Amino acid sequence: MGLKQKLESGGFAVTTEMAPPKGTDFKRFKECALAVKGMVDAVNVTDFQSAVVRASSLGAAAILVEEGLEPVMQITGRDRNRIAIQGELLSASALGIKNVLALTGDHPSFGDNPQAKGVFEMDSVNILQVARTLMGGKDLAGNDLAGTPDFYLGASVTPVYDPMELQLLKMKKKIQVGARFFQTQAVFDIELFKKFITAMGDIDAKILVGVIPLKSPGMANYMNKNVPGIFVPDEIIERLRKSQDRVKEGLKIAAEFINEVRQQKLCDGIHIMAIGAEENVPALLEMCDLDSAA
């Protein structure tokens, strides 16, 4: 079953995120992907995450298809104008990539080539808009396509945001132009997530809550201080501090959170972001009470 079928039939979906390598060596990327084969519904490939030069998401997503995994190709507007975005989407479809997740993209100043010019001709809403236009058989200027792509479109949302209404209004705009599923920024506090779900009201979209397995109290403190939209509660940081094996404790905390959102039916799935520790994802999934994705 693919991601679309799983979500649209009311199933609980599991996706995990993987960054393409910085270089041409895809060995670890493939190993980590194959290790979750059958355990996840799709593998989400980041697009020059944090504005860092790497192999592209299109290339990495095509490699996943080759390996028999279903990718979600992330695409941002930071590095491409409308010509490149449309070309990338058409290529993705031709290479068998069905899921596309549109993002605005981190600012180049955060990356490892901070001298780069940010394009940002299209924001996340515009990328969804153009994907849907291509799905209608035309390019953005109204010219005919020979062969039409078909995508399952996703976007992102930040559950911890002030003012919340503004975040929800933008989410509605994304849905209006075709987003069917949302992966959220990582959530650690279940009560905050419930607040967000309540605030969503009758907004109709599939929600995959973001999960980051913490590796240390320092990592939690760093994210609290530096990453907008992330809030790790003190009691979780304390648990990590007191534990003997912090990585294992981090996985345990993540598994408890996943089981909790699943049991309480708070959302439609989870999206795991292991940020460089992708080899731990199979262990995390084994700790969770989930159906096999295969």
Partner 1 sequence: MVITQPKPFSEILQFLEGKKNIFITGCSLCATSCMTGGEKEILAMEQKLLEEGKQVTGYAVLDPSCNKLQARATLKKQKQVLDSSDAILCMACGDGAQTVAGLVNVPVYPANDTMFIGEVERIGHFSEACRACGQCELGWTAGICPITRCAKSLLNGPCGGSRNGKCEVNPENDCAWVLIYKRLKELNELDQFMEIKSPKDYSKASNPRRVTVGK
Instruction: List residues near partner 1 by CB under 8 A.
Output: 78, 82, 104-107, 109, 118, 120-126, 129, 140, 156, 158, 161-163, 165-167, 169-170, 172-173, 176-177, 185, 228-229
Q: Which is nearer to partner 1, 59 or 233 (CB)?
A: 233
Q: Which is nearer to partner 1, 44 or 158 (CB)?
A: 158
Six token digits for residue 283: 């262990």
Q: Residue 251 Cβ, how far from partner 1 at the closest point, in Å? A: 25
Q: Residue 140 Cβ, how far from partner 1 at the closest point, in Å? A: 8
Q: Residue 242 Cβ, how far from partner 1 at the closest point, in Å? A: 29
Q: Which is nearer to partner 1, 94 or 169 (CB)?
A: 169
Q: Residue 239 Cβ, how far from partner 1 at the closest point, in Å? A: 25
Q: Which is nearer to partner 1, 47 or 123 (CB)?
A: 123
| Alpha-carbon gap, residue 126 to 134, rounded angstroms | 12
Return the residue matching tokens 């999206």. Answer: 271
| Alpha-carbon gap, residue 284 to 252, rounded angstroms | 7
Q: Residue 228 Cβ, how far from partner 1 at the closest point, in Å? A: 4
Q: Name the β-bridge partners of 14.
A: 270
Helix (H, G, I), strand (E, B) or coil at 181: strand
Helix (H, G, I), strand (E, B) or coil at 156: strand
What contacts 209, CB < 8 A, 6 or more positions away? 159, 184, 187, 193, 261, 266, 267, 269, 270, 271
Q: Which is nearer to partner 1, 57 or 129 (CB)?
A: 129
